[in-house]
Structures are given as structure tokens and as C-alpha cells.
A and B are shown apart, each in its own frame.
Chain A
Amino acid sequence: MPLIKIRDLHFYRGDRAIFEGVNIDIYRGKITAIMGPSGTGKTTLLRLIGGQLRPDRGTIEVDGQDVHKLSRSELYELRKRMGMLFQSGALLTDIPVFDNVAFPLREHTDLPESMIHDLVLMKLQAVGLRGARDLMPSELSGGMARRVALARAVTLDPMMVMYDEPFTGQDPISMGTLVNLIHKMNDAMDLTSIVVSHDVTETAEIADVIYLLSEGKVIEKGSPVQLKRSSSQWVQQFMQGLPDGPVPFHYSNVSLADDLFAQEESA
């Protein structure tokens, strides 16, 4: 039985459809990647799973519970078992790294300070930033901030972690570090990981299953190998990063000839 079961998901932003009938299964212990061009609502999907947004139709079940039928306190209980890594890291900027990682523990547990200290250092050690515990978030590089955020996301030992664009805007070294970390964390802590990304190479390296989304629908799903062999032109264009193909280079428009002609006419 999958940990997360998304059925017939519809979501609209104003008149624009973000999802129109999306079905996704996310299995325990696996790394599932959700990929697609920018603007396909990948981040929106994570917010829907986390219960921050409400779907217009369809259901999302996490660990057997329908996320959007839960009461507020039940939802908060569920969220304690979900970790989320935001694109920006979303560290609290007014407190140092140590307190950031300790934040969920201090909010949700009554553990003594000495135990919090040990737990935080263990998590920081896992992401290789034990030495950075006294730095303020503003003193961290983007990659370090994401690693701290990752340490924070797993402080409560959640059952799953959602990664929102973890590789965007990283230099190759910290990109490699993050790829490695996500993979290792997933195995070592027996997590279920959901990675939202459009970085094909990195994601394909670690994902067990990839869902390709475009225009509100699941276009293709399968293992990275299956996807690379897909016969669909669209999938090929996305996986190989071709500039033109089923997704046109030109923003939809009247034909160039018509446009030029119209100008002449009005002049």
C-alpha cells in the first residue's frame, strides 16, 4: 500500500487549471521524483500534500488519512511526521543554525536542553555542518542553508521528507553533496522521499520512480531508465533538454506573417 495516494486531483488558481485529474502513488522507502517544466505546479503539489492548500476536487491520502478531511489538530499531528525542505531553506533568519535545527524539538517536545543539544549535533553531523552551529543563516551559502534545513526537516524523525527544488541554483559541488545526502538520508533513516525538480540528470541519479507532469496531467511515469527509453516525443524533449519539440520554442501567438501584415495595415 502506498504511503501517499493522490486520486483525481483537481486544483485551480483563478481560472487557470494547475491540476486536472492527477493520480500519483508514492511508495514507502522509495525516492519519488515529480518532474516537469517550470510552472506546472510542482511546488503546489507539495503544499497540497502538506495540507497548506485545498484541492478543488479529488483526494490526497497520507498514511491512510485523507489530508483535507483532518481537523486542524490532526493535520498538525500529521505534519510532525512530514518533513519539508523549502527551495530557499526557509530557515528562521533571527536565530543561529543550532536553534534553527532545535526549533521543532523545542516546539513539540519537553526534552531537556542537554538531550536537545545531543540530538541537534547528531543531525548537524549527518549533514556535515556540526561546525557551523553558531553561524547565523545569513552567513551560510545557499547549499549550506539547504543542508541545515534538511537537518531541521529530519529532527523529529519523520516518515517522509518533501524536497522542493533542492538542486536549483547550486554549484556542482553542493549539488553533488545534496544528491548524495538525499540518497543517504533516505536509506539510513528509512524515509520516504518526494523530490520536486526539473534538474533531469541529478534527479534521475537518485529517483526510484519519476512522474512527469505537464499542463495539469501526468504525462509519463516510470523508473529513470524507462523514461529515457520512452517513445513519447514530449518525454524525450524534456529528458534531453531539447529547445524545440512538442513544447514549442515560441509562446503561442498568431503567425509571424499575420503579425507583420497587421502592422502594415494599421500604419
Chain B
Amino acid sequence: MIETIRSLGRWGLGTFERLGRGHLFLFRTLAGVPEIFLRLSLLVHQLFSVGVLSVFLILISGLFVGMVLGLQGYNTLVDFGAEESLGVLVSLSLVRELGPVVSALLFAGRAGSALTAEIGLMKSTEQLSGMEMMAVDPIHRVIAPRFLAGLISMPLLAALFSAVGIFGGFLVGHGLLGVDDGAFWSQMQVKTDWYDDVLNGVIKSIVFGFVVTWIALFEGYDATPTSEGVGRATTRTVVHSAFAILGLDFVLTALMFGEG
């Protein structure tokens, strides 16, 4: 009994400790971000490995998600004789929800896990402490550029996802199911609001990019420096990111669209 309470207490303390470390880590990272603008080549390099390498996955997934939306939406809407609204359904679903959320989940799986593994490996091979001994702060030199790259990449990837998805929905809706293309686009334009829908979606994806990159980098930086530890940290990145994305999505949606 006492042992149970003790272990519960230890667990609680451990959780708070990690939470504290995670935030201190974030503050130090943010402090390192301004320097990056003086050395853009570091950022470009990371934009490549964080952003560009995720593009293919995002495009393909976006296209399929959009096509499925087109099919499913059509089957539902046709019962109400409202198949002209297919464009609205596809665009709103993608721009408000699926674009930011699904691309963030994919991003966590592709780029997030890679970041954790990379940083964890750098830690376990003493590269990070090696840098410290060379009087180079690894948080500024290694973490901050990756963080900024994630923050920039995520909204761009989400926009690509939504755009390709809408195109996929159009392909299925117009090409396969014969929805009038004029109605598809014009209804979409009338009902999709630039501020309420598109910009809110972009804000969501920026928040997701922030959180996923933070989680991924922290897990890597805080990993037990063994191959087993890095493996576990990578798993944690994907799991925690998924929780964070879906939880935050609810909060953000309630804030943004709650008042109608």
C-alpha cells in the first residue's frame, strides 16, 4: 500500500520534472531562434530535411483524403439533392479540420520521429556534449534551426494538403460523379470564408507545428542516450504528438468556431 502511494508520488514528481524541463528547454530554444536569421543556411538545411522530405507524403495523402471526401460527400449529399454543395463540404472539411490535423499527424510521424531519432542519436554519440565543449550551445546551433524549420514547414504543408485535397475532391466530384464544375467552385467560394475558415486553419497548423516540433526535439534532447532510449523516445514523440494535436484541435475549434 505504502509502496503504491510512493510510486504514485514518484510518478507525479517525475511528470512535473519532465514538464518543467520541457518548458525550460522551450524557452532556451526560443531564445536561440533570433540568431538563426543571421545564419540562414542552417535554416535552409533544416527546411529541407523537415519540410521538403515530407512533401511527397503530404501530397499523396492529401489527394486521397480529398478523393474520399468527394465520394463520401457525394453519396450523402445526393440524398438531399444538394450535390452542388460538394465543393463546400470538401473545402470546409479540409481547410478547417482535415488539412491541419491530418497533415500534422503525418508530419509527426514523418518529420517528428526523424527529428527525435536524429537528436537522440547526436546525444548518444556525444555530439551534443562535444559541441558544448567546443563552446557551441547545441540548443542554439542544433535545436533552434530545426524548431524554426518545423514552425515554418507545418502551415505550408497543411496548405499543400488542403489544396491538393480540394483538387482530389474536384477530380472525383466532377470527373467521376459529374457534379457541375461551376457550382462546385462557386458554392465553395461563397461559403468558405477567408478569415473564419482558411486563416483559422492556418493558425491551427502553426500551433500544431509548434507543438509537434517542440515535442519531437525535446524527446530527442531528453532521451536516455542509448539505442533503446532513443527508440522509446521516438515512439513517445509520435504518441504524444497525436494526443497533443487532437486535444489542441478540440480546444482551438471550440475557440474559433464555437460562437458560430
Contact = CB atoms under 8 A, between A and B. Distances in A.
- The answer to whether A and B touch directly, with their CB atoms under 8 angstroms apart, is yes
Interface of A: 47, 50, 52, 76-77, 79-80, 82-84, 86-88, 90-93, 103-104, 107-108, 149, 152
Interface stretch (B87-95, B109-117, B134-142): B134-142
A82 B127 contact: no
A261 to B, nearest CB: 29
B125 interface: yes
B126 A88 contact: yes
Contact of A108 (B121, B129, B135): B135
B15 to A, nearest CB: 19
A50 B127 contact: no
B133 interface: yes
B130 interface: yes
Contact of B136 (A47, A52, A83, A107): A107
Interface string B116-159: 00000110011101101111110001000000000000000000
Contact residues of B: prevailing secondary structure: helix
Contact of B135 (A77, A87, A88): A77
Contacts of A149: 130
A90 B135 contact: no
A84 B141 contact: no
A79 B127 contact: no
A50 B135 CA distance: 10
Contacts of A90: 125-127, 129-130
B135 A93 contact: no
B130 to A, nearest CB: 3
B130 A52 contact: no
Nearest to B137: A76
A88 B226 CA distance: 13
Given A90-B126, A93-B125, A52 B132 contact: yes
Contacts of B141: 107
A76 B140 CA distance: 13
Contacts of A82: 133
7 contacts: A52-B133, A88-B126, A93-B122, A93-B125, A103-B136, A107-B135, A149-B130
Contacts of A79: 132-135
Nearest to B126: A90
A107 B141 CA distance: 9
Nearest to B124: A88
A196 to B, nearest CB: 14
A52 B135 contact: no
Contacts of A76: 135, 137
Going nearest first, the 3 A-B pairs with the smallest beta carbon separation are A90-B130, A79-B135, A90-B126
Given A50-B133, A76-B137, A104-B134, 19 more contacts: A50-B132, A52-B129, A76-B135, A77-B135, A79-B132, A82-B133, A84-B130, A84-B133, A86-B130, A90-B125, A90-B127, A90-B130, A91-B127, A91-B130, A92-B127, A93-B121, A93-B122, A108-B135, A108-B136
Contacts of A104: 134-136
Contact of A88 (B125, B132, B134, B136): B125
Nearest to A72: B137
B134 A103 contact: yes
A107 B135 CA distance: 9
Contacts of A52: 129, 132-133
Contacts of A93: 121-122, 125, 127
Contacts of A91: 127, 130
B135 A86 contact: no
Nearest to B141: A107
A84 B129 CA distance: 10
A86 B129 contact: yes
Contacts of B137: 76
B218 to A, nearest CB: 19
A52 B137 CA distance: 12
Contacts of B132: 50, 52, 79
B134 A86 contact: no
Contacts of A83: 133
Contacts of B127: 90-93
A41 B132 CA distance: 20
Contact of A86 (B121, B126, B136): B126
B124 to A, nearest CB: 9
Nearest to A82: B133
Contact of A87 (B121, B126, B136): B126
Contact of B134 (A47, A87, A107): A107
Nearest to B49: A94
A88 B133 CA distance: 14
B135 A80 contact: yes
A90 B225 CA distance: 13
Contacts of B121: 93
Contacts of B125: 88, 90, 93
Contacts of B134: 79-80, 103-104, 107, 152
